[in-house]
Amino acid sequence: MGRIIAGLGSPHAPSIGALIDKQDWQNPAWKKLLDGYTPMQEWLAEQKPDAAILIYNDHVTTFFFDQVPTFAMSVAAEHPIADEGFGPRPLDPIPGNSDFAWHVAHALVDDEFDITICQHMPLDHGALTPTSALWPDRTKPWPCAILPIAVNVLQFPVPSPMRLFRLGQALRRAVESYRDDFRVVVLGTGGLSHQLHGERFGYRNNEWDMEFLDRLESDPHSLASLRLQDYIERGGAEGAEVIMWLAMRGALSPKVRCLHRNYHGPLHTGFAQVIYEDTEHMAEKVLIS
C-alpha cells in the first residue's frame, strides 16, 4: 500500500517567496524563519518522497469570490505559476502526478468528500512559498510531484476545523489504497495567528500559537473539536486558516515524532515550521532538530 511518511507545516506568506527569489537567505530580520527550512530541506532530500499533498488556500487567483469551492484539487500533470499582479515568479511549472491524483479524487468522493476536480490549476503564493522554500534548488527539476488541494478559508461559509481533520483522515485512507511503495508527505500551510483587516489589524497571539503547536502534536482531536469562531477569537480572522494544518495532522497516525519545530513572529504574523514523522510508517530515526 501507499504510505504517508510525514506531515510538514509551513507558512505561505508572499514575502518569504520574495526573499527566496532574491536568494536572501541571510536576511537578518528573517534569518530565524529561513534557517528553520534547513532541517526540512535536509529531511526531504534524504527521504525523497514520491509525492506531496499540499493543503493550501488560493488568494483570489484561480478562484474568484463569485465561485469559491469549499475543496478543490488538481489532477493536472503540471501546474503553471500564477501571475498575482507582478508577473509570475521565476519558477518552473510545478509537476503533478495525474495517476495518483485521480486515485485520490475517486477515493475522496467515495469517502463522501464532494471535492471540485480541476484539470488546470495555476498556483499562487499559497502553494509556491512553501514548495520553493522546501525545494529551493532551481538548477534541478522539481524533485517531487505535488497534489494541490485548495481549501476555502476566505469566504464564509468556511469548513469547520473538524471537517479539515476528517479530510486528512480521508487522505490517509486514499493513500493507503494506492499502489505499494509510494511514499507521500502532507504539507499544511498558512500563518498562525494574524489579522490583516478591521479593528484588530496587526493582532498576534504568541501564547495561542504555542498552545496550538503543542496540541497539534499531542492532542489534535481537541483542536479539531473547537469552533471556527474559537480560532478567529484566539488567533485572528486570517489566523483561522491554520485549520489547514489540521488536515495535515489528520492524515498522520495518532502518535507522531516531532523532528523539528520552529517559530518566528515578525510584525503581525506568527510563522511556524514543523516536521511530524508518522510513527506507523517510519522506522526509528535520529532527531534532526
Intra-chain end-to-end CA distance of the chain, in Å:
29
Peptide bond into 157 cis (omega under 30): yes
Q: How far is CA 250 from CA 18, 68, 151, 226, 286, in A?
A: 31, 24, 15, 15, 24
Instruction: Report which of 83, 9, 19, 54 is spatially closest to residue 266, judged by C-alpha positions.
Output: 19
Instruction: Pull the grid cell for residue 139.
Output: 538548477
Q: What is the largest CA-CA distance in the chain?
A: 52
Q: Which of 72, 64, 60, 9 is nearest to 37 (CA)?
A: 9
- Separation between Cα atoms, residue 217 and residue 11, nearest integer Å: 17
Let me know: does 135 contact 144? Beta carbons within 8 Å: yes
Selecting among 12, 194, 264, 281, the annotated active-site residue is 194
Query: What are 267's strand-pairing partners?
Result: none
- Is 79 among the catalytic positions? no
Torsion of CA 133, 134, 140, 143, to 10 degrees: -150
User: Which of 40, 41, 43, 54 has its CA nearest to residue 188?
Assistant: 54
Mark whether 125 is an active-site residue.
Answer: yes
Among 12, 79, 103, 125, which one carries the catalytic annotation? Answer: 125
Active site residues: 125, 194
